Amino acid sequence: MNEISRPNSLDAYWMPFSDNKYFKGDTSRMLARAEGMSYYTPDGKEVLDGTAGLWCCNAGHGRVEIKEAIQKQAAILDYAPTFQLGHPIAFEAAARIAEMTPEGMDRVFFTNSGSESADTALKIALAYHKARGDSGRVRMIGRERGYHGVGFGGMSVGGIGGNRKQFGALLPYVDHLPSTHLPAKNAFSRGLPHHGVELADTLENLVALHGAETIAAVMVEPVAGSTGVLVPPVGYLQRLREICDKYGILLIFDEVITGFGRLGTNFGAERLGVVPDIMTMAKGLTNAAVPMGAVAVKNGVYDTVVNGVAGGIEFFHGYTYSGHPLAAAAAIATLQLHQSEDLPGRAMAIEPYWQDAMHSMKDAPNVIDIRDFGLIGGIELSSRPGKPGARAMDVFRRCFDAGVLVRVTGDIVALSPPLIIEKPHVDRIVNTLTDAIRAEAA
């Protein structure tokens, strides 16, 4: 394969969530090409993808079926608006998603990203209560260490201090449940941890504090990914569902990571046995080949909003690129692959091997916790004194140099490989990571 040239200048591009000054001084980590389970640098060096890009290339890279669908669609219809107009492929993509969502969740709104999906879900919740004549329900409940993207809604309901502190007052009327992370009780749990179901009861405290009549929705990730793989305790999501039902509060699952096979089922809702009222998705929907997000809602939520307004536009919300033809084509091709290759089933089948592999790292130096569920793994390292994040960053660089891409958040190494992963890939990721953790400690 030919080498791909590096850019002449790195100055113009302000990179997101990056240490721009550092990166631009050391450009060794550039990805130029991808195929199957791997990336390739401009010099042709292979880097095994332990993170499916950013939790999104679930079907592996460079899938010909997706590429051809995008090319074909670009030649037929490059773009058409979906405000008061339609184009066939957007309806087809929505119908395919509705087939995969839990029963009775058959209405799908298109966005372009996980962040837009989060903000859309929050706005749907507000519009729903207003349409019911319950417009006092404006309060949103998120969770500490939750991540719902970077829009003002998702950022405010999200619970990551670093993502919020630069941006002033944020959305008003937001409160947070405690995170489900209980290291003293649950360290090195395999799958769902056994302690902490009672953390869901803190929702009762917030109801007592604010009054149920002020609360619109609770928004959580079934498994929190971006803040370092926080797996919900057994029974926790069921308990949240019960309390939401008791008080007429909508439950929103942010399935941007957990959707499309990551947990061995189409959505986390299915694996975890809890159906939310509203579900956000993005990433795996198009295998990330074209940006696209979506929000699925229970039919009753849609009916309430749509019937709650007499004539005219019912929901004053939407994006120029909602249901974009190229994204819709990519989604349909991706979801066909999911079905024909049974990607969720593949993930489920390899999960026991993955779990053993994750926990095989428990005796490596500085490892203080390992968490896993589905094809997700989190390896938490103790921090270097006074330098949080430095140890994991060192491990990340060592892994990359040794040809494996991992992701780090704070001092947690997060893994989420493409669902087409096979046992030798798992071994390579784990061996490389273990070596890197050992080398960092040496």
Residues that bind ligand PMP (CB under 6 A): 54, 113-115, 118, 147-149, 221, 225-226, 254, 256-257, 282
When the beta carbons of 119 and 440 are compared against ligand PMP, the nearer one is 119
- Terminal Cα distance for the chain, rounded: 37
* Cα gap 302→174, rounded to integer Å: 24
- Asked if 148 and 258 count as a contact pair (C-beta separation under 8 A), the reply is no
Give the nearest distance from C-beta 75 to ligand PMP in angstroms. 27
Q: How far is the CB of 146 from ligand PMP (least distance, A)?
A: 8
Nearer to ligand PMP, 115 or 266 (CB): 115
Q: What is the closest distance, in whole angstroms, from the C-beta atom of residue 55 to ligand PMP in the complex?
A: 6
**Cβ atoms of 130 and 308 closer than 8 Å:** yes
CB of 110 to ligand PMP, least distance (A): 13
Based on CB atoms, which residue is closest to ligand PMP, 256 or 404? 256
CB of 118 to ligand PMP, least distance (A): 5
Q: Which residues contact 18 (CB under 8 A, 6 or more apart)?
A: none
- From the CB of 108, what's the least distance to ligand PMP, in Å? 17
Q: Least distance from C-beta 283 to ligand PMP, angstroms?
A: 7
Q: How far apart, in whole angstroms, are the C-alpha atoms of residue 257 and residue 216?
A: 24
Kindly tell me which of 115 and 322 has the beta carbon lying closer to ligand PMP: 115
DSSP 383: P
Half-sphere CA count of 203, side-chain side, radius 13 A = 33
**Identity of the residue, 148 or 398, whose beta carbon is nearer to ligand PMP in the bound complex:** 148
Least gap, CB of 51 to ligand PMP (angstroms): 11
Alpha helices in 187-298 (DSSP H): 202-210, 236-247, 268-272
CA distances from 298 to 27, 135, 214, 239 (A): 47, 20, 21, 19
Provide the sign of the torsion angle of the four alpha carbons 184, 360, 338, 75, taken in this order: positive
Shortest Cβ contact with ligand PMP: which residue?
114
**H or E element: which one contains 255?**
none
Closer of 146 and 398 to ligand PMP (Cβ): 146
Residues 6+ positions from 255 with CB-CB distance below 8 Å = 221, 222, 267, 268, 269, 279, 280, 281
CB of 285 to ligand PMP, least distance (A): 10
How far, in Å, CA of 291 to CA of 289, rounded? Answer: 7
The C-alpha atoms of residue 278 and residue 23 are separated, in whole angstroms, by 38
Nearer to ligand PMP, 13 or 43 (CB): 13
Nearest CB to ligand PMP, comparing residues 175 and 254: 254
Taking residue 412's Cβ as centre, other Cβ atoms within 10 Å add up to 20
Shortest approach of ligand PMP to residue 256 CB, angstroms? 4
For residue 404, list its beta bridge partners: 48
Q: Which is nearer to ligand PMP, 40 or 222 (CB)?
A: 222
Say which residues have a Cβ less than 8 Å from residue 430's Cβ, sequence separation at least 6.
357, 358, 360, 361
Q: Which two tokens stand for residue 377?
A: 């793994």
Q: Which of 240, 360, 334, 232 has its CA nearest to residue 281?
A: 334
Q: 118 or 332, CB closer to ligand PMP?
A: 118
Report which secondary-structure segment, H or E, holds 166.
Answer: none
Please give the structure tokens belonging to residue 216: 């619109």
